[in-house]
Amino acid sequence: MTFGDSHNRSGPLYFQNVPTLARALAAWDPARPAGCLFLVPMWNPVLMAEQIGTLAAFHDGPFIVQTGLGGGADALADFGVSVEHRGRALDESLRIVRALFDGETVSSDMYGITAASFDLVPPEGVHWWMGTMNSAGLRRAARFGAAWYAAHAPLEVLPALLDEYRVACVDASAEPYVAARREAVVMADGDRARALAAAALESGYRGMSSEMVVAGAPDDVAEQLSALADLGIDEVMMRTMAIDPAIDLETITLLGEVRRTIGG
């Protein structure tokens, strides 16, 4: 279970990641992985470390920190970050967070931080995932020892990017790990599931295309996901399309069948 991060947006209501995850952890299996995404350049790194440390303290299982460069120029500008400098901001921010988690006292000219420290560090550490779709980001993930969060990358671009990431991990003496994500509508009536997903995409669902969605009966969806398994993707995260609460619940329930079918 993970929650996303979004800022300075209009349209459908978007619950912020930290309070939403904190509430959800009360009902989540404490042994199963949990975490959330941080669009790193939009966060003060000391605050981000404190939020991660607090959430990880609420949870006994593995804690995942997904990271990304942030949104468009307008959203970044409201946080005092330019698109041109967001990669450097991410590097510096993650340096600070890692150092704080190692118990160090940290300073940073970029962020105006002097002798910051933090005691509520995750006792078991965290799992870092980096979302990226370019060569520089893949090298950054490998250098950082992080998983590559391929998110909604379509099948046609995954093989080349996977090769780049794996080569970069060899060069950095890092262990590769790749996670992808797909939107899902899974129903006993596979035809209806496909029709609902197609209608959502037609209406502009999150600006996504059909390659980012799996839909149908459990066997159909298992077959669709098998292509990711064949590429060596280590983990696939699923998100319901919020078409209707009853459909979301059916999707979540039937994803258990999908998982058993593909041996996950």
Cα–Cα distance for residue pair 25/136, rounded to 1 Å = 34
Top-confidence residue, 14 or 95: 95
Domain assignment of residue 23, yes or no? yes
**Residues 188, 104 within the same domain:** no
**Position 176 pLDDT exceeds 70:** yes
**Position 102 pLDDT exceeds 80:** yes
What's the pLDDT at 208? Answer: 86
What's the pLDDT at 222? Answer: 93
pLDDT average, residue stretch 224-247:
90
Question: Which of 131, 160, 195 is the C-terminal boundary of a domain?
Answer: 131
**Residues 99, 14 within the same domain:** yes
Question: Which of 131, 158, 191 is the C-terminal boundary of a domain?
Answer: 131
**Residues 116, 185 within the same domain:** no
Question: Which of 131, 152, 170 is the C-terminal boundary of a domain?
Answer: 131
What's the pLDDT at 82? Answer: 66
Domain assignment of residue 44, yes or no? yes
**What does the pLDDT look like over 9-67, one tens digit per residue?**
666 667 788 989 999 999 998 889 999 999 888 889 999 999 999 999 999 899 999 98
**Position 5 pLDDT exceeds 80:** no
Query: What number of CA atoms fall less than 13 Å from residue 150's CA on the CB side?
Result: 30
What's the pLDDT at 41? Answer: 82
User: Which stretches does DSSP call E strand in the chain?
Assistant: 2-3, 34-39, 63-68, 106-108, 113-116, 127-131, 147-151, 178-186, 213-216, 235-240
pLDDT average, residue stretch 132-156:
90
Q: What are phi and psi of 147, to 5 degrees?
A: -70, 150
Q: How far is CA 103 from the centre of its chain?
A: 26
**Residues 123, 240 within the same domain:** no
Domain assignment of residue 225, yes or no? yes
**Residues 102, 215 within the same domain:** no
**Residues 214, 114 within the same domain:** no
Cα–Cα distance for residue pair 80/77, rounded to 1 Å = 5
Between 11-20, 111-120, 152-161, the lowest mean confidence (pLDDT) is in 11-20
Domain assignment of residue 144, yes or no? no
**Residues 96, 198 within the same domain:** no
Tell me the pTM. Answer: 0.84
Domain assignment of residue 166, yes or no? no
**Residues 200, 117 within the same domain:** no
Between CA 121 and CA 125, with CA 123 as vertex, the angle to 5 degrees is 80
What's the pLDDT at 264? Answer: 57
Which DSSP state fits 189?
S
> Which of these, 229, 249, 231, 227, lies nearest to 240 by C-alpha position?
249
Q: How many domains does the chain have?
A: 2
**Residues 89, 7 within the same domain:** yes
Cβ(63)–Cβ(56) under 8 Å?
A: yes
Q: CATH number of the domain that 3 lies in?
A: 3.20.20.30
- pLDDT cut 70: percent of the chain above it: 92
Determine the structural domain holding residue 116 and report its residue range: 1-131
